[in-house]
A and B are shown apart, each in its own frame.
Chain A
């Protein structure tokens, strides 16, 4: 059960504003709080501009948060001051990027790309060990040993994404942020990459933050899901609960819009319209995440809890 597991990441009241003090200040992430437990996959979904990517980037410290706290493996990320501390942090946390074409340096060989982390962290003693380690990693992600001496342009999108995964695995991290790792890939290749990520997680007890807009894929890979909109986390819960028993209107509308490869289902599909005004804070009634059913949270005001509990009860009756 989640509560007995160790929290590997705690995000507390994270705020990430851009252009602070200017008239066009953007609240990309506006006061979100969630935890990720060791060994699980936490899926973060939302439309473009919802702040899901910014959240991932703030967690791995590519941005300095405007406010709030990120605690990773017991340490406050904002208190990484020396280079040594920062190196320790990045060894445990790695990232896989969306675009397999833009995220690999075209002038470096695959060996150098994958080994960059090994070099920075001084994890290998000599050239031979470095080469062996890279070849091992390539085999782990389903590529050939002799791919090491090639360049990125010689690979397809799916293969490149495997190289990106090998690079992330090189330093043996505990935690990997995967930001839309499959959205640039073809359907038949998407499943390959997702299954690879799942297998690696089992083998190495990895924890994932999986960021995507493809709800059905997120549901398939995640243990828990968080739904973001306008920089806020609206609903958090076990993947099945959020997907099959969505409580927040926004989640409902998002799920109703997902096309399903089933013509009969599509013919009878009713899309649910969403009225964003229900998210607006009312005077004196601040909204925050409240637990409606066990482990299933919805962002709402105190006086709305009863209404959501009612909704949850209706699912049980069905």
Chain B
């Protein structure tokens, strides 16, 4: 892997609400290397969107960063002023949002919208910027780009709009692209096209991607590494193969188990609902929904246990003294695949 460009350390974020302080992000650490795709997976409310908003300096007014660092090329983004962030946002770190219908300005021609970051950040003059906008519009696969550059957003379909949003995000060749559920609002066939486009452009532009989603199928196709979030914390992280074929955290098991595959006849749902972060539970936050929970889970929060150099999971099940348990059938099936994959690698 390439050089490390982003290092998030012990991030803690609270939200002030009328009901009290919501502890949305609790001691989250992760890093991003050049050219790789990191997927952050989790349910709504798990803190995945808050994490990425903090990278962009886009947290809501009632958010309070309690601690931690966000090191981008060894500079702490949390210490930057709004003005300094404005120079980074859209230029070095760009973002694509879930809803392509609302992330474009309806009153502005799309060519102008794509050229805007160039004029603003790189001080490119208007004519040149528009020429570059045309280039990138072709690159993201808008047919008849010469004519369509003068169209307004409402004249495009959902998939085309997401292509335009991607064009805006990539026009300054950012080092990091944050994609927050970029295909959730799209049909599967369009989703496949957009995902392929993102992979292709990632190679051309050599950008790193942080991909946020709850769709494990999309993660399997996009990610190099995966971080699984639950109740404001990362509970497991590892390479895409390690997470999908050799998961260790019972929450990851639950997620994989509740997705139907081609030949599943039985879906195991995770019982219950995520905890209330106004008052996070003592111990392992997943304990209440975890069929494998032990006594210690209710008392003490598990630290990260090392599975491999790249794979860590925060569950007491990995403690040397923990009783041996058999994971759900589907996970056992996946672990067998993992052994086969590992064996292949050694040859």
Contact = CB atoms under 8 A, between A and B. Distances in A.
Interface string B187-203: 11111100110000000
Interface stretch (B84-92, B102-110, B253-261, B315-323): B253-261
B268 A261 contact: no
A261 B256 contact: yes
A156 interface: yes
A254 B214 CA distance: 21
B261 A260 contact: yes
Interface residues of B, number: 41
A20 B44 CA distance: 42
A182 to B, nearest CB: 11
A257 to B, nearest CB: 4
A267 B215 CA distance: 16
Contacts of B216: 187, 261
A156 B191 CA distance: 27
State the majority secondary structure of interface residues on B.
Answer: helix
Q: Is the interface of A mostly helix, strand, loop or mixed?
A: helix
Contact of B244 (A186, A253, A261): A261
A264 B337 contact: yes
Contact of B341 (A194, A258, A261, A264): A264
Contacts of A64: none
B221 interface: yes
User: What band does the interface of chain A fall in when counting residues whose beta carbon is under 8 Å from B?
Assistant: 35 or more
Contacts of A47: 187-190
B27 interface: no
Given A48-B187, A260-B261, A261-B259, A195 B220 contact: no
A192 B270 CA distance: 7
A262 B218 CA distance: 9
Interface in A261-278: 261-267, 269, 271, 274
19 contacts: A47-B188, A47-B189, A47-B190, A187-B43, A188-B254, A191-B270, A195-B267, A219-B260, A220-B267, A243-B262, A257-B188, A257-B191, A260-B217, A261-B219, A261-B220, A263-B245, A264-B337, A266-B217, A271-B196
Given A158-B273, A195-B269, A259-B191, 6 more contacts: A186-B43, A190-B258, A261-B256, A263-B220, A264-B337, A269-B221
Interface of B: 43-44, 158, 187-192, 195-196, 214-221, 240-241, 244-245, 254-262, 264, 267-271, 273, 337, 341
